[in-house]
Amino acid sequence: MKKRIGTRFALVLLALLLGVTASANAQFGISVSFGPPALPVYVQPPCPGDGYMWTPGYWAWNEDYGDYYWVPGTWVMAPQPGYLWTPPWWGWENGAYLFHEGYWGLHIGFYGGINYGFGYTGDGFWGGRWDGDHFFYNRSVTNINNTYIRNVYNERIVNNYNNGAMNRTSFNGGPGGINARPNHEQQIAMRENHLAPVAAQKEHLQMARYNPQLRASVNQGRPPVAATDKPGQFRGKGVVPARNSSTPYHPQQYNTPAQRNGSMQPSNGAYRPYVHPNDLPQYQHPNAPANNPGFNQQRYQQQQDQFFTRQQQERQQLQQRQDLQHQQYQQRWNSNPQRMQQLEQTHQQQTRQLEQRQYNQYQQFHQNPSYSAQRSQPQQRGNWKR
């Protein structure tokens, strides 16, 4: 009798653990009342080298701006041999669009039936396969121009990703969404042990988050950086822009002056155009380079503090000038709403220019943080090999 009770308890405990695992894999951390824009059309940049895996671009949500932003597709190294990338996706549930985080696993899980292209047809992955410790690329759907990559094969699949007539919907369920559900194999893959995005993917995400040009309200669903050959590299010859978007994007706007001025945040999520420097969110400090014996951590921290202090001072100076203009206009044009609206438009343009300039500075600092911290160190040639 005790053995039967113990066995029954073990089965119940196992079922609970499986349920917790499945729920954890879902990672419903973000919900938005309206769906993301359509997937942009772009060309995959060439694979930079053997062992790189393609991670397709997707729309993410920035709660600071109340806006979707595009995370460019890029090539990254797998965390370990045998692991494949299941991309993130948006799904309609209980009156909102929920974000499901991507992950690394031994098998491809469910990603909403979204056709991200380049082997991700909405069901599985056909861009390559592992054979032992080596990854073999399917040249029929993968851009392989590197002469040093010899582990290739050709397997044609039905993939009309670059066809303008294709359904470019970027979310599952809801009005106009993809109608797909996970099959038995995908459900098993969803319950397996997963690995989170690697450090390069996390830094890539942060760089995209702070880039004003990648916000849907700015690029209207046509991001200027749709894909890149290396994570976080949003400039240079490896950057691929999106083609013309056949689906126009109209973000939801705030309707009241209190919401537009940033003093009120609606719960359903909507695009908020920041007008003044005080409304801009702060950048996250980039991580220091790891495994670099010549790196001066203390000097880097000092320069990082100085860098963000200068940016904050620039914002404060512009805010003071705008506040003074507000006072002057209120004294002279308080009874003229059109004049006040023109002033707000001018302030918004100034704020956007400041934001773009500071982002460019932040990107340069983030991509090469060790340069200034190592300037006092003797430089040796030939140490920058990849």
pLDDT exceeds 60 at position 168: yes
Do 35 and 170 lie in one domain? The reply is yes
**Assigned domain for 248 exists:** no
Q: Which parts of 220-336 fold into alpha helices (H)?
A: 257-260, 297-333
> Do residues 227 and 74 lie in contact, with contact meaning Cβ atoms separated by under 8 Å?
yes
Domain edge (last residue) among 201, 231, 257:
201
Q: How many CB atoms lie within 10 A of CB 182?
A: 16
Residue with token string 């392989």? 144
- The predicted-structure confidence for 40-86, as pLDDT tens digits, reads as follows 999 999 999 999 999 999 999 988 888 999 999 999 999 999 999 99
Domain edge (last residue) among 201, 217, 245:
201
Of 38-42, 187-191, 331-335, the poorest mean pLDDT is in 331-335
**Closest-CA residue to 137 (of 159, 102, 148):** 148
Do 192 and 281 lie in one domain? The reply is no
Residue with token string 């801009």? 280
- List the end-to-end C-alpha distance of the chain, in Å, as a whole number: 64
- The predicted-structure confidence for 111-131, as pLDDT tens digits, reads as follows 999 999 999 999 999 999 999
Number of domains within the chain: 2
CA atoms lying within 13 Å on the CB side of residue 354: 25
Between 274 and 108, the higher pLDDT residue:
108
Residue 141 has a pLDDT of 92
Q: Which domain holds residue 368?
A: 273-373
- The predicted-structure confidence for 200-249, as pLDDT tens digits, reads as follows 999 999 889 988 899 998 898 999 999 999 998 898 889 999 986 656 67
**Closest-CA residue to 333 (of 322, 342, 323, 321):** 342
Q: For the whole prediction, is pTM greater than 0.75?
A: no
Q: Where are the beta strands (DSSP E) in 127-199?
A: 128-131, 134-138, 152-153, 171-172
> Do residues 224 and 242 lie in contact, with contact meaning Cβ atoms separated by under 8 Å?
yes
**Assigned domain for 339 exists:** yes
pLDDT exceeds 50 at position 185: yes
